[in-house]
Amino acid sequence: MKEELLNVITAADTALVPDSIFELTHFVNGKWLVYDEEMALERISPATGKVVSRLSRGDEKVAKEAILAARQAFEDGRWSRLPGAKRAAILNQVADLIENKKEHFAIYETLETGKPITQARSEIDAAIDLWRFAASLARTLNGESHPNLDPDIFAFVIKEPVGVASIITPWNFPFLILSQKLPFALAAGCTAIVKPSELTSATAIMLGQLLTKANMPDGVVNIVLGLGGEVGHTLSAHSEVDVVSFTGSTNVGKLIVQASASTLKKTSLELGGKNPQVIMPDANLEEAADAIVFGTLFNAGQCCNSGSRLIVHQDIKEELLHRLGNLIRKVPIGNPLNSQTKVGAIISDEHSESIDACIRSLSQTNAKIFVGGRPLLLEGLTGRFYEPTIVVDVDPAMDVSRQEIFGPVLSVLTFETFDQAVQLANDTSYGLSAGIWSENVHTCLSFIRQVKAGTVWTNTWMDGFPELPFGGVKESGIGRELGKYGIEEFLELKTCQMRVGATREKWV
């Protein structure tokens, strides 16, 4: 693909650029700790190369201080014993405060991640909806009763908050993923310590600024900044933490399980994916092609739900590739501070190099680059961009077919029969999401039953709603977020049995 054939956008809305650098520090027990300039980490915008924010670098000491604050806040009941309606009122107030500041949130999401401003705005809107949905769950928590076990026994099961939750979030959807976790933990009655990615910490701190305005009690939510090895490990291993909720790579998820194993605490992990889209011969190719391009290029492919593996029937492969090539050339790529841009920057130099190394390694295989395949230099922008890339003639055993690249790269495989398509879809260590395109409802239902994935889409891709659970199987994770199941990760069951009739029969 030639650069001149791309729809490149370099201009920006300069009114969106802040006047000063945002200085971030830790929020512990309702107080902001002193900003430590000597220990500060700089966040440079991946799109412009300019410093966006500086954050205090936390350590084990700060992490432990936050954990103990959350423990005290949980044990004294200032949050856990509040009626659900009062917790819900505060969560709804937080949602209102975010809504009043949503453009401010979106701008910093764009500056720190390099994602398009229109996408960031949509994600903040979605996050607001999640806070309000979680508030509804706080009011509707219930258990179950068992009145028919025995004439003299009345039994019931109640749900109680687990306790202190460590919430560790990634850089690709900083505020959206935080909002998939924190309000659900709070709705359950848990207290929390939040550790955002050191690359994208601004919106977590902005949230902290709003919590006091919403009358959130001190110590209920604590925010610790810093590196995973220094802060994340402590938040995973500490004995006073009862549950860890983490989103990120599968490799780091395994390290968190190891760290948490000493206390056998609960873990909820949303990890990687190598998600297949199966295109049957009867598929609507116009609609499918648009969704495939979206699933590949959304967030520059830096998305666990990226539809990065295309499994297409050999009879329609050439026609579909022709459509995909034409569409990709139309997608606006470039400056994320332009409302026309749909594909922004790559998060870091290291990640850009990782993507490119994977593509360069294809020269040792029979796979071919159909379009793209190299870093993209844009006039007037010093940041990191990568060409939308399609790789064809892919063998299922190749890394490009099996490993999560986390970039704007689509691998194309072919099949002849439905059973072969299912086998290819399941031939991966991941199981986050999958999709199929067919006009035959029986084909779609058969695929739903046979594919190993936490979410399955038919004739669409990456739709999502707060009411529906999200999570994966195999090495894509443990547990679920969102829906009524999202709050269950932060609850424990307690069985209660009461003798209400005659005294029990004597044993001795």
pLDDT, position 4: 45
Contacts of 65 (CB under 8 A, 6+ apart): 28, 29
Mean pLDDT estimate for the chain: 95
**250 within domain boundaries:** yes
Question: How far is the C-alpha of 450 from the C-alpha of 447, rounded, in Å?
Answer: 5
**502 within domain boundaries:** no
Local structure of residue 238 (DSSP, 8 states):
-
Are residues 266 and 280 located together in one domain of the fold?
no
**4 within domain boundaries:** no
Are residues 477 and 404 located together in one domain of the fold?
no
Local structure of residue 343 (DSSP, 8 states):
B
Residue 420 has pLDDT above 90, yes or no: yes
pLDDT, position 14: 66
Are residues 310 and 420 located together in one domain of the fold?
yes
pLDDT digits (tens, 9 = 90+) for 219-259: 999 999 999 988 999 999 999 999 999 999 999 999 999 99
Are residues 280 and 259 located together in one domain of the fold?
no
Residue 156 has pLDDT above 60, yes or no: yes
Whichever domain contains 260, its CATH number is 3.40.605.10
Q: Which amino acid is at 454?
A: G
Residue 2 has pLDDT above 60, yes or no: no
**2 within domain boundaries:** no
Are residues 84 and 232 located together in one domain of the fold?
yes
Whichever domain contains 379, its CATH number is 3.40.309.10
Give ∠ CA 131-137-139 in degrees, rounded to 5: 115
**192 within domain boundaries:** yes
Residue 1 has pLDDT above 50, yes or no: no
Contacts of 372 (CB under 8 A, 6+ apart): 1, 328, 386, 387, 388, 389, 390, 408, 409
Domain that holds residue 449: 276-458
pLDDT, position 169: 98
Q: Which two tokens stand for residue 378?
A: 């844009």
Say whether 406 sits in a helix, a strand or coil: coil
pLDDT band, residue 39 (cuts 50/70/90): confident
> 247: how many CB neighbours lie within 10 A of its CB?
24
* Residues labelled as active-site residues: 270, 304
Cα dihedral angle (83, 88, 90, 91), rounded to 10 degrees?
140
**507 within domain boundaries:** no
Question: How far is the C-alpha of 303 from the C-alpha of 253, rounded, in Å?
Answer: 16
pLDDT, position 339: 94
As beta bridge partners, residue 153 has: 150, 499
pLDDT digits (tens, 9 = 90+) for 101-129: 999 999 999 999 999 999 999 999 999 99
Mean pLDDT of 451-464: 97
* Closest residue by Cα to residue 433 from 298, 271, 278, 273: 273
Mean pLDDT of 95-104: 97
pLDDT, position 238: 97
Are residues 111 and 207 located together in one domain of the fold?
yes
Local structure of residue 470 (DSSP, 8 states):
B
Supply φ then ψ for residue 145, to 5 degrees: -120, 155
Mean pLDDT of 45-65: 94
Are residues 333 and 192 located together in one domain of the fold?
no
Are residues 383 and 245 located together in one domain of the fold?
no
